[in-house]
Amino acid sequence: MGKIHELDNVLANQIAAGEVIERPASIIKELVENSLDARSKRIDIIVTKAGLGELRVIDDGIGIAEDDVKEAFKRHATSKINTRQDLFRVQTMGFRGEALPSIASVADVLMTTSTGGDAGTMIHLHGGKMTDFAPAPARRGTDVTVKELFFNTPARLKYLKSPHTELSRMVDIIDRLALANPDVAISFTHDGKELFRSAGNGNLQQVIAAIYGVKAGRKMLLIQGEDNDFQISGYVSLPELTRASRQYMTITINHRYVRNYQLSKAIIDGYGSKLMVGRYPIVVINIDLDPLLVDVNVHPAKREVRLSKEPQLSLLISDTIRRQIAKQNLIPDVGDKA
Ligand code: ADP
Ligand code: MG
């Protein structure tokens, strides 16, 4: 017998989980993205002990039919793409079919789901092994509870930071998801206390105010710009309203939060000399573009994307911001003495 053999499924999933599920916040990201892909209008996130107790995401989306429930927990099983062509035109947040099997391989997972007919399904997995599968109430949507995170990967568990840090990473991800999806009502409750709620009425400025404060919400300028390939829209803060870190800038591409150094730099360039050294604006912009212009399959967690025509987009971003700020300066009495 040769020395080379295929890894068993649970082990393969645990290895994949190493890339996708780094910490409690990654679970929230993956579950909420699934809820968004399921066209949910309302998503409630309930966590205890910074994720080391329980992480629960409840949505009112399309649910999973009974026949598909076990499939959803298989690796590379997805309803979101079929062909190679689809991969170049991804419109959904997910497509790799890795999140659910990865999560299930390193935790205890209970899911109840229903497509809204007269039945629902419950599935329970522990460390990647199914322990229960049964009918459940027919409430349309999906409810996933994750417990005992990293119980079987002690190194991962040890690597986690303090509860305070893990919680703030969760808050950060939830903020970005809410900013990227103002038309979805998202709530976050931690240890019984509601920390965040968005109305889901499509009003981005309101979401900004809910996250960065009402005062900040009032000092935002609406921006809009487009060229042949890109449409950008969102809010940027008046130059008088700045923060000491770049993390208050949120860029989404087709409503997916991404980190991109060049595009962040383009935003700052748009302010020209109006920003003091070491100060950064509060910005939330979305860029709509043909999915063919962006490769989202660069990073397992899809934080980074590769863009064609990045220089052209950078120019559009800085020009749009520059113009809007210049216009603002022509209006007397905006009270930018603060
Ligand atoms: P991916 O999102 O990349 O397809 P996942 O492992 O996250 O992979 O999910 C597998 C499949 O399970 C999805 O393609 C989808 O069909 C289904 N699914 C997961 N979460 C939900 C949800 N909240 N509502 C409806 N379907 C879901
Ligand atoms: Mg997914």
pLDDT of residue 328: 82
| Number of helices (H), then strands (E), in the chain | 11, 17
Identify the domain boundary among 197, 229, 259: 197
Q: How confident is the model at residue 331 (pLDDT cuts 50, 70, 90)?
A: low
- Classify burial at 82, counting beta carbons within 10 Å of its beta carbon; exposed 0-12, middle 13-18, buried 19 or more: exposed
Residues 221, 92 share a domain: no
pLDDT of residue 338: 42
Residues 248, 160 share a domain: no
Question: Domain range for residue 291?
Answer: 213-330
Identify the domain boundary among 168, 197, 226: 197
pLDDT tens per residue, range 166-181: 999 999 999 999 999 9
pLDDT tens per residue, range 273-315: 999 889 999 999 999 999 999 988 777 777 788 999 999 999 9
C-alpha to C-alpha distance for 126 and 268, rounded to whole angstroms? 47
pLDDT tens per residue, range 120-131: 999 999 999 999
CA of 33 to the centre of ligand 2 (A): 6
Average pLDDT over residues 31-58: 98
Residues 229, 172 share a domain: no
pLDDT of residue 155: 87
Tell the residue nearest (CA) to atom 21 of ligand 1.
34
To test the pocket of ligand 1, the residue of 100, 109, 114 to mutate (highest count of ligand atoms within 8 Å of its CB) is 100
Phi, psi (5° rounding) for residue 267?
Answer: -65, -50
Q: How many structural domains is the chain composed of?
A: 2
CA of 196 to the centre of ligand 2 (A): 23
**pLDDT above 70 coverage of the chain, percent:** 97
Q: Which of the pair, 118 or 211, is modelled with greater confidence?
A: 211
Residues 159, 54 share a domain: yes
Write the CATH number for 44.
3.30.565.10
Q: Which ligand is nearest to the CA of 16?
A: 1
pTM: 0.93
pLDDT of residue 319: 97
pLDDT of residue 270: 97
Residues lining ligand 1, Cβ inside 6 A: 30, 34-35, 38, 59, 61-64, 72, 78-80, 94-100, 142
